[in-house]
């Protein structure tokens, strides 16, 4: 896959791994293109759900393996029997089609970037040393700056302290290289690398991180270019309907809340609490208790309320009453704007949608004094147990929930919570109860309401 | 219980009084350091560059009018607008691809942030769950030490680990500090790069429902080892003696929750509950002996964890608490240095990085005081009690200028 500086097309596939620097020379049937892209999308989606559920690389790999094997097998050069060229060509083409389809909005670009990088990481880890080395050496514009023995000696104590156990053990034989800290931002963020004067020092055995980051960086640029190309594309290009169809697949990944505006009044909100998922119960409870709530909590809770059908007028009344320590004047000045903003009446006038579990769990972690977030992720075990007990859950039920949350399965724990709190209303089929997995607080709410109205 | 006067009491200003804008106008006219301010934001270039011209300023006028996306062609235009509007608050945003004033007339894609100083915001309200002397917007000399520790730790990391040279700390005028890192490399950091720096510095993690907010590995990363050294200098005095966090039962109960070990909890609760009121220093000694006792019973099994928990508690009570949202988005606004805080009237002055311990927030001049001084001595506007702070700012800007020259000479050679 070594190409010269300004490659036009990539047509040869001597390596299993691919940086997708150049588009494929395509003489493929349109139907195949669409099918392949959809299959790749399956892989990325299964990767997404594995990343939510599992923590270790091994677990993630195992979870994705069947899908990967079915849709996008990619054998190594050692494998004499696999149709190497065909597999790699499919990998290449499906990547480029999806890249184009997902380049449309900033959101879909971010999604694609995240999971393509995860896929590359998975494959890189599964590639043996020799093949990796050949691949890295063949990468254009990619060179490592090695640290001299004297420099390594001088920094030895700090290098050891910042290294993993494995590296500390083989420290004497380990070579180190030096890069700008920006190039290994993820390692810096996790404090897994030694820094001195703006340089990061990594053991050679960690060079994979750098390769993966480089993959990500170049793909990010590639997506920007794809977005421009998409703008210029002919309306009646044969690819256009396919791309539209593909990019619409991304939207369907988000839950659309059922309620429409204006059915729930400010006075009703507190009566609806028994339908709320734990995160929103907690916010509602804190607000009632303290008469105040910090910004991130207001957004998470406010958008949820909007999702269950609280109109902007009612929201104003609700929040005004809830912030009971404030004068009208102060409320108008400091909070009203914020609430109107959530309803798209101020600022950029975006019609914000309620946050999904995924967003609540993985972004904007609560800091000291914050109450937003997901109880299954952001509560200490003790707090979680206490709050479940306050909801009158029995010991056994509490145990079955925390067992899931302890393993990091927040949404499964929440689904279990739903089952337990709605047991009486759910149709039972033997011992197991069938409930849709909770992926969105508003879905929890809608499901709960639906059960009651069914009666 | 606070013996120290909270700072709001005698200095509060009525920002809505008709005199206030008049006051501000003379402040901007005679005292605000426009020359150095402009040089700083223009990267010390001889003529106005995009760095200055495409920079977003935003103003708060009176009490509730908020104007965003202002920009200026040069220092004179900036000053003229300050005098015309008399903004009660000035915020500085990012440098954009086009002039922020023209935002409405260009496509959103042509209006993107390109750079901004790397900034940090440390606010005392994030310490409310640990400090016992004040709450909310109030500060006193005792809790100010949290800021001192925070500045020392963050500053050391920015200089030694990240290699930044142009760092300015600014008193926020009331209850916290801001930090502006103006190195070109810092300004050019992507949001991802900013998140990396913040993550690197961040140790306290978790919201109000997560008691134990610190979980560090046995082997401390060099940054943490250095920080621990700084923390240890302050912990006894700040946390145990002055804040006296373990004296009352609501205080020690919080610490108790940080131990997951049942034996430790039981023993410790029994020992601490014996006395209704006991000095924290003594309670801390009890903690040491309880830990030693339990560790002894266990022999070597898992007793190392107890020592680690204790170390993490020391971190949780002393390590800086950063507001990460301010730092991680390039287009986030931050209050400008040399603003006047509307509640206290104090000027947001720079803090010298070699005098973190000496800085006294309660001694920072107010706008009233400065104008009175000026009235008494109108010939010498440079001689007010703001002078030492102006000097810190000028030195900071001079540092940027020096670097600028070296780069140029390097290029010419
Ligand atoms: S899993 Fe989702 S709905 Fe349930 S508590 Fe967490 S964030 Fe809320
Ligand atoms: Zn205080």
Torsion angle, alpha carbons of A22, A26, A29, A32, to 10: -20
Q: What are phi and psi of A200, to 5 degrees?
A: -105, 140
Q: What is the pLDDT of residues B70-81, one digit of tens each?
A: 999 999 999 999
Answer yes or no: is A410 a known binding residue: no
- A179 within 8 A of A202, measured Cβ to Cβ: yes
Identify from B221, B254, B312, B343 which residue to disrupt to test chain A contact, counting A C-beta atoms within 10 A and taking the largest count.
B221
Q: How far is CA A206 from the centre of its chain?
A: 24
CA distance A279 to A285: 10
pLDDT value, residue B52: 97
SS3 B360: coil
- B241 within 8 A of B280, measured Cβ to Cβ: yes
Q: How far is the CA of A257 from the centre of ligand 1 (A)?
A: 15
Nearest CA-CA partner of B358 in B105, B141, B100: B141
Confidence of residue B302 (pLDDT cuts 50, 70, 90): low
Average pLDDT of span B161-169: 98
Confidence of residue B3 (pLDDT cuts 50, 70, 90): very low
Which residues of chain B make contact with A372, given a CB cutoff of 8 A?
Answer: 207
Q: Which residue of A has its CA nearest to B108?
A: A348
pLDDT value, residue B96: 96
Choose the closest CB to A158 out of B197, B205, B222.
B222
ipTM: 0.92
Whose tokens are 């440079």? That residue is B382
- A64 within 8 A of A50, measured Cβ to Cβ: yes
Q: Which is more confident, B20 or B178?
A: B178
Choose the closest CB to A185 out of B196, B223, B325.
B196
CA distance B394 to A427: 74
CA distance B392 to B244: 35
CA distance A100 to A96: 6
Angle A10-A16-A22 (CA atoms, 0-180°, nearest 5)?
20
The residue ranges of DSSP E strands in B237-360, in sequence order, are 334-335, 350-351
- A54 within 8 A of A38, measured Cβ to Cβ: no
Report whether pLDDT(B299) > 90.
Answer: no
Between A and B, how many residue pairs show a Cβ–Cβ distance under 8 A?
A: 116
Tell me the two tokens of residue A276.
């709320």
- Ramachandran region, residue B403 (left: φ > 0; alpha: ψ -120 to 50; beta: rest): alpha
Q: B199 vs A372: CB contact, 8 Å cut-off? A: no
CB-based contacts of A402, cutoff 8 Å, min separation 6: A381, A384, A385, A388, A413
| Ligand 1 proximal residues by C-beta, below 6 Å | A 277-279, 357, 360-361, 374-376, 410-411, 414, 438, 441, 444
- B178 within 8 A of B169, measured Cβ to Cβ: yes
Report whether pLDDT(B311) > 60.
Answer: yes
**H helix or E strand, kind and range, residue A65:** helix A57-71
Which residues of chain B make contact with A374, given a CB cutoff of 8 A?
Answer: none
Q: What is the pLDDT of residues A262-302, one digit of tens each?
A: 688 999 999 999 999 999 999 999 999 999 999 999 999 99
- A340 within 8 A of A319, measured Cβ to Cβ: no
Beta-bridged to residue A10, according to DSSP, are: A24
Choose the closest CB to A368 out of B199, B204, B224.
B204
pLDDT value, residue B115: 96
SS3 B3: coil
Side-chain-side CA neighbours of residue B408 (13 Å): 10
SS3 B348: coil
With a cut of 50, which residues of chain A have pLDDT below it?
1-6, 251-252, 430-433
Ligand 1, atom 1: closest residue by C-alpha: A411
Q: Is A346 on the interface with B (CB under 8 A)?
A: no
Confidence of residue B250 (pLDDT cuts 50, 70, 90): very high
Mark whether B323 is an active-site residue. Answer: no
Q: What is the pLDDT of residues A430-442, one digit of tens each?
A: 444 457 778 899 9
Tell me the two tokens of residue A311.
């109109």
- Long-range own/partner contacts, residues B183-190 (CB < 8 A, 24 or more apart): B184/B43, B185/A198, B186/B117, B186/B118, B186/B162, B187/B95, B187/B115, B187/B116, B187/B117, B187/B118, B188/B115, B189/A182, B189/B118, B189/B330, B190/A182, B190/B330
Q: Which residue of B has its CA nearest to A159?
A: B222
Mark whether B56 is an active-site residue. Answer: yes
Q: Is B253 on the interface with A (CB under 8 A)?
A: no
Pocket perturbation via mutation, ligand 1, pick of A438, A439, A447, A448 by most ligand atoms within 8 A of CB: A438
Average pLDDT of span B283-297: 92
CA distance A205 to A168: 12
Q: Is B128 on the interface with A (CB under 8 A)?
A: yes
pLDDT value, residue B16: 65
Q: Is B205 on the interface with A (CB under 8 A)?
A: yes
CA distance A278 to B268: 33
> B121, B242, B244, B312: which one is catalytic?
B121
Beta-bridged to residue B176, according to DSSP, are: B123
Nearest CA-CA partner of A187 in A206, A166, A165, A204: A206
Nearest CA-CA partner of A133 in A299, B270, A142, A182: A142
pLDDT value, residue A109: 86
From the CA of B242, the nearest ligand is 2
Tell me the two tokens of residue B249.
């039962």
Torsion angle, alpha carbons of B40, B43, B46, B50, to 10: -110
Residue spans of the domains in chain A: they are 8-138+213-249, 145-207, 269-454
Is residue A385 classed exposed, middle or buried when 0-12, 13-18 and 19+ CB atoms within 10 A define those classes?
middle
Mark whether B123 is an active-site residue. Answer: yes
Average pLDDT of span B230-247: 96
pLDDT value, residue A428: 59
b/e map of B231-257 (b: 16 or more CB within 10 Å)?
beebbeebbbebbbbbbeeebbebbbe
- Ramachandran region, residue B19 (left: φ > 0; alpha: ψ -120 to 50; beta: rest): alpha
In the stretch 66-125 of chain B, residues with CB closer than 8 A to chain A read 125
**H helix or E strand, kind and range, residue B61:** strand B55-61
b/e map of B116-149 (b: 16 or more CB within 10 Å)?
bbbbbbbbbbbbebbbbbbeebbbbebbbbbbbb
Length of chain B: 413
pTM comes to 0.81
Residue B155, Cβ neighbours under 10 Å: how many? Answer: 17
Beta-bridged to residue B113, according to DSSP, are: B96
Q: What is the pLDDT of residues B96-147, one digit of tens each?
A: 999 999 998 888 878 999 999 999 999 999 999 999 999 888 999 999 999 9
Q: What is the pLDDT of residues B368-404, one digit of tens each?
A: 999 999 999 888 878 899 999 999 999 999 999 999 8
The CATH number of A8-138+213-249, from 3.40.50.720, 3.20.20.80, 3.30.70.1050, 1.20.930.80, is: 1.20.930.80
Average pLDDT of span B202-231: 93
Q: What DSSP assignment string belongs to B313-345?
A: HHHHHHS----HHHHH-TT--EEPTT-B-TTT-
Q: A371 vs B222: CB contact, 8 Å cut-off? A: no
Q: What DSSP assignment string belongs to A296-363?
A: HHHHHHHHHHHHHTB-HHHHHHHHHHHSTTS-HHHHIIIIIHHHHHHTT-STT---PPPPPHHHHHHS
pLDDT value, residue B34: 95
Nearest CA-CA partner of A449 in A425, A417, A413: A425
Choose the closest CB to B162 out of A186, A195, A375.
A195
């Amino acid at each position: 896959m070594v190409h010269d500086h300004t490659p036009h097309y990539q047509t040869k596939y001597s390596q299993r791994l691919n940086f997708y620097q150049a588009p494929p020379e395509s003489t493929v049937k349109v139907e195949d293109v669409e099918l392949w892209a959809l299959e790749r999308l399956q892989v990325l989606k299964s990767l997404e759900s594995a990343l939510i559920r599992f923590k270790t690389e091994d677990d993630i790999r195992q979870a994705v393996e069947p899908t990967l094997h079915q849709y996008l097998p990619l054998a190594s050069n050692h494998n004499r029997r696999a149709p190497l060229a065909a597999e790699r060509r499919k990998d290449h083409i499906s990547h480029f089609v999806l890249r184009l389809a997902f380049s449309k909005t900033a959101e879909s670009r971010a999604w694609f970037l995240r999971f393509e990088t995860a896929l590359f990481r998975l494959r890189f880890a599964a590639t043996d040393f020799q093949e990796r080395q050949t691949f890295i050496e063949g990468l254009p514009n990619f060179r490592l700056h090695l640290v001299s023995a004297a420099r390594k000696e001088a920094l030895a104590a700090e290098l050891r302290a910042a290294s993993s156990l494995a590296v500390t053990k083989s420290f004497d034989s380990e070579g180190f290289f030096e890069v700008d800290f920006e190039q290994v931002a993820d390692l810096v963020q996790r404090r897994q690398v030694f820094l001195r004067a703006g340089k990061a020092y990594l053991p050679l055995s960690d060079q994979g991180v750098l390769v993966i980051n480089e993959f990500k960086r170049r793909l990010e640029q590639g997506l920007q270019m794809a977005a421009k190309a998409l703008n210029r594309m002919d309306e009646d290009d044969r690819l256009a309907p396919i791309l539209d169809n593909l990019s619409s697949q991304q939207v369907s990944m988000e839950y659309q809340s059922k309620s429409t505006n204006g059915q729930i009044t400010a006075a009703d909100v507190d009566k609806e609490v028994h339908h709320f998922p734990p995160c929103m119960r907690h916010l509602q409870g804190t607000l009632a208790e303290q008469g105040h709530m910090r910004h991130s909590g207001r957004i998470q809770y406010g958008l949820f309320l909007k999702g269950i059908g609280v109109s902007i007028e009612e929201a104003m009344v609700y929040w005004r009453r809830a912030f009971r320590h404030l004068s009208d004047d102060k409320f108008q000045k400091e909070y009203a704007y914020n609430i109107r903003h959530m309803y798209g009446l101020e600022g950029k006038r975006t019609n914000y949608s309620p946050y999904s579990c995924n967003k609540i769990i993985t972004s904007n972690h609560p800091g000291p004094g914050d109450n937003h977030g997901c109880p299954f992720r952001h509560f200490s075990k003790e707090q979680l147990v206490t709050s479940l007990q306050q909801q009158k859950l029995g010991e056994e039920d509490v145990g079955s929930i925390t067992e899931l949350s302890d393993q990091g399965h927040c949404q499964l724990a929440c689904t279990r919570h739903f089952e337990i709190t709605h047991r009486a209303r759910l149709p039972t089929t033997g011992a197991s109860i069938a409930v849709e997995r909770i992926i969105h607080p508003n879905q929890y709410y809608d499901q709960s309401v639906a059960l009651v109205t069914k009666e | 219980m606070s013996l120290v006067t909270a700072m709001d009491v005698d200095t509060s200003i009525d920002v809505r009084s008709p005199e206030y804008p008049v006051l501000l106008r003379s402040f901007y006219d005679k005292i605000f350091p426009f020359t150095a301010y402009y040089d700083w934001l223009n990267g010390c270039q001889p003529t106005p560059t995009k760095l200055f011209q495409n920079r977003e300023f935003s103003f708060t006028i009176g009490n509730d009018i908020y104007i965003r996306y202002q920009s200026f062609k040069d220092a004179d235009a900036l000053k003229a607008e300050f005098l015309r509007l008399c903004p009660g608050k000035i915020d500085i945003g990012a440098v954009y691809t086009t002039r922020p004033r023209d935002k409405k007339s260009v496509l959103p894609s042509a209006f993107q942030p390109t750079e901004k100083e790397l900034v940090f915001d440390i606010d005392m309200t994030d310490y409310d769950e640990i400090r016992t002397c004040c709450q909310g917007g109030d500060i006193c000399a005792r809790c100010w030490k949290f800021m001192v520790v925070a500045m020392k730790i963050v500053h050391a990391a920015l200089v030694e680990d990240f290699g930044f040279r142009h760092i300015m700390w600014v008193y926020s005028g009331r209850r916290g500090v801001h930090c502006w890192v103006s190195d070109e490399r810092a300004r050019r950091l992507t949001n991802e790069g900013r998140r990396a720096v913040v993550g690197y510095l961040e140790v306290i993690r978790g919201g109000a429902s997560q008691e134990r907010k610190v979980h560090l590995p046995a082997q401390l990363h060099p940054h943490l080892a250095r920080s621990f050294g700084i923390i240890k200098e302050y912990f006894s005095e700040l946390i145990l003696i002055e804040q006296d966090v373990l004296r009352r039962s609501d205080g020690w109960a919080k610490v108790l929750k940080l131990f997951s070990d049942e034996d430790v909890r039981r023993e410790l609760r029994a020992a601490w509950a014996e006395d209704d009121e006991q000095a924290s220093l003594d309670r801390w000694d009890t903690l040491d002996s309880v830990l030693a006792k339990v560790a002894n019973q266990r022999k070597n099994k898992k007793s190392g964890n107890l020592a680690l928990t204790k170390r993490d508690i020391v971190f949780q009570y002393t390590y800086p608490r950063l507001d990460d949202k301010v730092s991680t988005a390039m287009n986030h606004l931050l209050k400008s240095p040399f603003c006047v805080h509307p509640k206290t009237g104090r000027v947001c002055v720079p803090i010298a990085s070699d005098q973190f311990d000496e800085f006294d927030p309660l001694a920072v001049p107010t706008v009233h005081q400065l104008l009175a001084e000026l009235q008494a001595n109108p010939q010498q506007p440079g001689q007010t009690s703001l002078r030492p702070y102006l000097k810190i700012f000028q030195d900071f800007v001079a540092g940027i200028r020096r670097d600028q020259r070296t780069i140029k000479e390097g290029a010419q050679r």
